[in-house]
Chain A
């Protein structure tokens, strides 16, 4: 009940004309970046972050989070109308969404996508409302060893549970952690890895890296791919919306299952991509007519969209409660908090109640307003794709440069952005994942500080990470997850032997 009272206080903080206008601006910009080829949630948020530098933190985070919701909604438009998944997690939406559009049911597919996005996000926001304060108050008891163990758990789960080749995830993560260490050492004040360069004294700002890795590299990749778009126009009428909503109760199991999968994979670093595919596959597996999937079945839109959006939203839970982002975009939002001098983590709930509850309230309101906005403006946003890419590409490059420069007012950062753009392009093409790199770059200094404080406290023994039940459990779990592919292989082998026995016997 305390959470409910605080949430009402959050709405009171939020409901000012200024914040509501910023919310609308954020949503429109978000849908815009979601629809544009070569942009998406993470880079949209990173590029537009400088706009918020002069705002108070609450207004700023409301606008940024609304860019995020808008981008999530916008991604579905291109997936369904043009068969172009704006983000990797939108791939599963195209399986049934595009066939629906081809059958002249684009409006129905879009309504289903927006509604299920809303439902998925809503379930995750409810989870955040009631779980985040509990986790953060529990985490207040954490010391440096516990925090390092949680960071280790995050890193290890990326390596162990990621779909990419393990050595590539390790390369990506260790590179991110190393680059985070460039500049002045926060504990001793010594300079590290600067090689006499005064530009590197500041270190590498992760937002500059993100803009290059996601923004510039995406432009290079988009240019490389075929850009001839052929799609369907759609305007959504109230009749179609009400028709889809009337049928919603029929799909309550799918919606609930996908929400649960999404929340689970959002809190653990499984991610929205895994969530959308798992949601889709399970909907197909439990369907009475699995053959109809992929041919324009509305359930095939509901399932991945609900899961992906529940996951994307739930990724904000560990960010707020523990200061550990569950996704790339959550990492960028976390960077935003740090820019405004806020320290994400358990103390945020104690020291900045207005901010936290204003943000959570904005998640509710942003989703409602976002849903209405996209349902009423689809044709306008879809027509953005008529703008020639030769006009869009240089505008995105300029926006990226503005974003990169504004963070530290340094020309060097524009060059750095370009360098990271090339790195991102090459890494994406050879399968080195970028999410662990971003996460490591954001968390690097905090993880190192927690490690050093733990080691200083223990006199240099690693036993500190097993010094009590809590830290010991987290560290052990981290190691289990790191070696999960090996353990899973062994378990499967045991399972195979057990299954083989009756057959052979």
Chain B
């Protein structure tokens, strides 16, 4: 860094600098207006008791935070969110990785399979949730009618959150797979040829060559997946009816935020819940950044 500063700035460098900034400016502005500013607004709101229509807010200091820490519903939702993430993240990564390896080989109908697996990403989450809601329906649903079972997939408090996680896995696999395929194509073929000469079979070369060389991609997918799994909302909102007895054991933190901020119109308390989620996500991500040294290989 220090070296570049000492060097004389040429006209070309300055022009590149300007154009560079110009190109990322729209994204930067979007990021600031749509993401960064709302974060601080949310933080600000969390110190208030919300008045009607956002007017007449009353400053309550840390009252909302005190309430959040004593709120059983919030902690239950946090547990639900973790349960969801613990199922969704590893399965969606492992299955996508296997599929990516399989579909990275030369085979017939490769493009077709890739398209099919990616397709759920194209559909709107609301539509996906509606379809799955009917598949899961315990009285009229396809799953219970095709197999001779009577499982209350989405209304049994013990399993509902996992049923929702299955939908999550199903809908994200394609996206993860595409990222993995991109990563796989970066790996030079020579490595595999050399390994073959040394007698490494397919499974061995997968664990000793593919996984280490793909680790930066895996790390990226892992971090982004965990963050968005912790923010699960639409699937639960669409699948779970308000009168569902399993709701309490299924609703995520963001669902709870929605309930307080938009249904009960207590924006302040809702904001506090989101800030809690933000802090938890930051901590988890920080640990991952530290942990990556142990298993991610950049060269």
User: Does chain A bind chain B?
Assistant: no
Binding site for A on B (CB under 8 A): none
Binding site for B on A (CB under 8 A): none
